[in-house]
């Protein structure tokens, strides 16, 4: 199926039972986001809001809310994309099967962007920022945000669409110090292509021209989040995925997607920043107010009957989870070809993606050795932490499994495998004073914190506890999974508060704690132990490894840290952490009333 517009996609979804129209007037302040969240949580359909308070434009969300629906949208091209990636990974095999790969080559012709001399569809009317639907997602958000933007920039040294970057960087439309209708905020994080383009423009003391597309064929939004290698144009990928060449034109020197529903054009000047945020983000906390580039708005365009596309992020999983699942469906085993020895990797969505990475590698360095211990998997871990988005991982667990029965996607079984084999005196490796994800506030400053690699391999060393050890009964303690206990402590007030007492108290129980290699110090042990996702979210989003990991019988030997019994992860909320996002009770009541009229 080839969609020429967002509306064409929505009509196809509706025809096949994947879309629900909301006809009542809905408020873009909190209400629309709350409806989206409720429908997503229940595995519901895509949504088309037909009557948005304060705006003449319709809005659509939850389009990619399930992997099933995402695969349905790209049902005619997904296999072609997978085949093209396979060809790239194994060109020799492709050469040996030229007839089999003939269709793949034809599909690649769609990759060439098509310059459209007629840009009338998207510039049907010129509007203002204030005319756009201003969707306010969470109560503490600093204003209205664009959450599915396709932000287009070009390389000032190599202009043109083939060297351009299309990324999804949130846009703040209102609030803070932005001059209404004249300025908007542009937030982007580490390892993003737009940063390279802005750096080059800054060096020449020239403004960076930016075009923000909203809507258009769904392949455009997916391409904007696709982790493509630097130098490969997202517009070419959009053409292949959508089975339709990316159509574009230029207006006053700005590139416009002629298939988009909306286009915002403007410029970012060197060293020109303003406060952006807060924003309830995909780790489940607010990203706080920080200085980010400000974009001086030039012109805003809308096509006839335009539809505003948006999503809502918060504590995972959310709709962006399906983006990740779809990317995994397309790329398959591509990372195995990029990182030798890597068999499988899983950025855990329930932990906010970047905070927790689980991996399975190979151990082939010393097959003659009588004692199995980590060797090759340490090399693989270092390679992973230097590769694209994987470099943002904060916790990296890695092991090897010759039976090929272990899976990183069976999370509890994976942790059991690791914890049965971990040597706490040897297998823990810290990376201090390094960069971490911009949205992770567990570190000392923005983008600054630490990482840890836990590389465990070898024979089983222990039988994991399935009951709380008696020595932990002084605290409110709950079993989380085998070998992991959550204990509740007083509210965190200063570094190492309670840690010294806990360690001193438990030093005498080193032998009794051998079967419990991990203790989670938290604010609410019942919540952490209630379900696996709670454990993953609390533990790995609220810990800065270098500051918040301790151990029973800990020691440092030749700069290497280890411990003789349980690893203690302090996952309490700290004063410098961002607050978690929370739903508004009154808004939830209105959502109950609205959705009571619909069946889904």
Q: What is the pLDDT of residue 327?
A: 87
Inter-residue contact 394 to 436 (CB < 8 Å): yes
Question: CA 424 to CA 223: how far, in whole Å?
Answer: 42
Q: Tell me, what DSSP letter sits at residue 508?
A: G
* Confidence (pLDDT) at 372: 86
> How much is the average pLDDT of 431-455?
91
Q: Which tokens belong to 278?
A: 């807060």
- The tens digit of pLDDT for each residue in 515-572 reads 999 999 999 999 999 999 999 999 999 999 999 999 999 999 999 999 999 999 999 9
Over 60: is that where the pLDDT of 101 sits?
Answer: no
* pLDDT higher than threshold 70 for residue 334: no
Dihedral sign (CA 498, 500, 504, 509): positive
Closest CA to 297 of 261, 272, 251, 264: 264
Question: Could you give the CA distance from residue 263 to residue 278 in angstroms, rounded to a whole number?
Answer: 24
Q: What pLDDT sits at residue 599?
A: 87
Residue 98 has pLDDT above 70, yes or no: no
Q: How far is CA 61 from CA 215, 450, 490, 533, in A?
A: 11, 36, 41, 25
Nearest-angstrom CA–CA distance, 362 and 389: 21
8-17, 209-218, 332-341, 395-404: least confident range: 332-341
> What pLDDT, in 10s, does the model give residues 83-97?
877 665 554 444 344
Give SS3 for 390: helix
Q: What is the pLDDT of residue 317?
A: 92
- Domains of the chain are 6-309 (2.30.110.10), 319-455 (3.40.1670.10), 470-570 (3.40.1670)
Closest CA to 168 of 320, 394, 391: 320
Q: Encoding tokens for residue 429?
A: 């490796």
Which of 73, 51, 75, 47 lies closest to 62 in space, CA to CA? Answer: 47
Place of tokens 């211990």: 373
Which residues does 373 contact at the CB level (< 8 Å), separation at least 6?
Answer: 423, 426, 457, 458
Does residue 495 surpass a pLDDT of 80? no
Tell me the average pLDDT across 373-401: 93
pLDDT at residue 96, as a whole number: 42
pLDDT of amino acid 97: 46
- CA-wise closest residue to 339 among 318, 360, 322: 360
pLDDT classification of 360: cutoffs 50, 70, 90 = very high
Contact 9, 217 (CB under 8 A): yes
The mean predicted confidence, pLDDT, of the chain is 91
pLDDT above 70 coverage of the chain, percent = 93
CB atoms within 10 A of CB 367: 7
In this prediction, residue 301 has a pLDDT band, given cuts at 50, 70 and 90, of very high
Where b means 16+ CB within 10 Å and e means fewer, 183-209 reads bbbbbbbebbbbbebbebbbeeeebbb
**Extended strands (E) in 229-310:** 247-251, 254-257, 262-276, 279-280, 286-287, 290-302, 307-309
Helices then strands (H, E): number in the chain? 18, 30
Residue 102 predicted with pLDDT over 60: no
157 or 98: which leads in pLDDT: 157
Beta strands 150-153 and 165-167, pairing class: antiparallel
The answer, yes or no, to whether residue 352 has pLDDT greater than 80, is yes
Question: pLDDT digits over 225-240, tens only?
Answer: 987 765 578 999 999 9
Q: Which residues are bridge partners to 184 per DSSP?
A: 295
What is the average per-residue pLDDT within 233-259? 94
Range 411-431 average pLDDT: 98
When pLDDT is averaged across residues 281-295 and rounded to a whole number, the result is: 94
- CB–CB of 460/492 below 8 Å? no
Highest mean pLDDT among 8-22, 72-86, 221-235, 381-395: 8-22
CA pair distance 207, 271, nearest whole angstrom: 10
For 86, phi and psi rounded to 5 degrees?
-65, -40
Q: Please state at what angle helix 78-89 crosses helix 234-242, rounded to 10 degrees.
A: 130
- How sure is the predictor about 335, in pLDDT bands with cuts at 50, 70 and 90? low
């Amino acid at each position: 199926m080839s969609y020429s517009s967002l509306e064409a996609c929505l009509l196809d979804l509706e025809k096949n039972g994947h879309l629900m129209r909301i006809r009542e007037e809905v408020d873009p302040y909190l209400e629309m986001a709350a409806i989206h969240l409720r429908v997503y949580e229940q595995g519901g359909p895509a949504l088309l809001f037909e009557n948005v308070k304060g705006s003449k434009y319709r809005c659509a969300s939850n389009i990619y809310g399930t992997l099933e629906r995402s695969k349905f949208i790209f049902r005619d091209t997904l296999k072609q994309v997978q085949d093209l990636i396979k060809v790239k990974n194994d060109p020799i095999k492709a050469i040996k099967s030229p007839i089999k790969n003939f269709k793949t080559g034809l599909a690649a012709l769609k990759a060439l962007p098509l310059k459209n001399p007629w840009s009338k569809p998207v510039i049907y009317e010129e509007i203002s920022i204030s005319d756009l639907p201003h969707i306010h997602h969470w109560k503490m958000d600093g204003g209205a945000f664009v959450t599915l933007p396709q932000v287009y920039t070009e390389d000032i040294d190599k202009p043109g669409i083939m060297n351009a970057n299309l990324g999804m960087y949130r846009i703040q439309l209102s609030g803070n110090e932005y001059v209404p209708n004249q300025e908007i905020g542009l937030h982007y994080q580490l390892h993003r292509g737009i940063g390279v383009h802005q750096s080059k423009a800054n060096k020449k003391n020239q403004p960076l021209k930016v075009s923000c597309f909203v809507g258009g064929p769904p392949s455009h939004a997916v391409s904007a989040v696709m982790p493509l290698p630097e130098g490969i144009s997202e517009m070419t990928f959009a053409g292949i995925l959508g089975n339709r060449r990316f159509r574009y034109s230029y207006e006053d020197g700005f590139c416009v997607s002629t298939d988009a529903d909306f286009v915002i054009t403007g410029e970012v000047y060197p060293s020109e920043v303003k406060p952006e945020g807060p924003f309830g983000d995909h780790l489940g906390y607010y990203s706080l107010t920080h200085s980010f580039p400000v974009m001086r708005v030039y012109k805003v365009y809308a096509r006839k009957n335009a539809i505003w596309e948006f999503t809502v992020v918060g504590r995972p999983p959310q709709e962006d989870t399906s983006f990740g699942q779809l990317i995994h469906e397309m790329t398959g085993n591509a990372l195995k070809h990029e990182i030798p020895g890597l068999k499988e990797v899983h950025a855990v969505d329930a932990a906010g993606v970047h905070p927790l990475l689980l991996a399975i590698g190979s151990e082939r360095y010393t097959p003659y050795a009588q004692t199995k211990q980590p060797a090759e998997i340490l090399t693989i871990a270092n390679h992973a932490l230097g590769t694209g988005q994987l470099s943002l991982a904060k916790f990296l667990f890695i092991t090897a499994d010759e039976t090929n029965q272990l899976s990183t996607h069976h999370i509890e079984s994976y942790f059991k495998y690791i914890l049965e084999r971990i040597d706490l005196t040897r297998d823990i490796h810290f990376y201090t004073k390094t960069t971490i994800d911009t949205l992770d506030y567990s570190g000392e400053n923005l983008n600054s914190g630490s990482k840890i690699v836990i590389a465990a391999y070898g024979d089983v060393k222990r039988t994991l506890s399935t009951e709380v050890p008696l020595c932990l009964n002084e605290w409110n303690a709950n079993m989380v999974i085998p070998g992991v206990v959550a204990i509740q402590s007083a509210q965190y007030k200063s570094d190492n508060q309670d840690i010294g007492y806990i360690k001193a108290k438990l030093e005498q129980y080193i032998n009794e704690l051998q079967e419990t290699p991990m203790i989670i110090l938290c604010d609410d042990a019942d919540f952490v132990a209630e379900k696996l996702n709670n454990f993953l979210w609390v533990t790995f989003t609220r810990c800065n490894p270098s500051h918040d990991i301790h151990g029973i019988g800990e020691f440092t030997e030749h700069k290497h840290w280890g411990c003789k019994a349980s690893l203690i992860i302090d996952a309490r909320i700290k004063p410098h952490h961002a607050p978690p996002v929370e739903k508004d009770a009154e808004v939830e009541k209105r959502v109950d009333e609205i959705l009571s009229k619909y069946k889904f």
